[in-house]
Amino acid sequence: MLSKNDMYTLSLYQTVNTISDKESCKVYMVYNTLDNKPYIKKEIRGYYNINTYSRLKEINDSHVAKMYEAIEGNGCLTVIEEYVHGSPLNSILDEGRIVDEKTAIGYMMQLVQALKALHGQKPPIIHRDIKPSNIMITSEGVLKLIDFNAAKIYVDNVIEDTVTLGTKSYAAPEQFGYKKVDTRTDIY
What positions carry a catalytic annotation? 129
Spatial CA neighbour of 154 closest among 187, 117, 115, 127: 127
Spatial CA neighbour of 79 closest among 46, 42, 45: 42
Q: How far apart are CA 98 and CA 75, in angstroms?
A: 44
Question: With contact defined as beta carbons under 8 Å apart, do 90 and 131 qualify?
Answer: yes
CA-derived radius of gyration, the chain: 17
Question: With contact defined as beta carbons under 8 Å apart, do 70 and 54 qualify?
Answer: yes
Q: Strand, helix or coil at 15?
A: strand
With a CB cutoff of 8 Å and minimum separation 6, the contacts of 181 are 126, 128, 152, 154, 161, 172, 174, 175
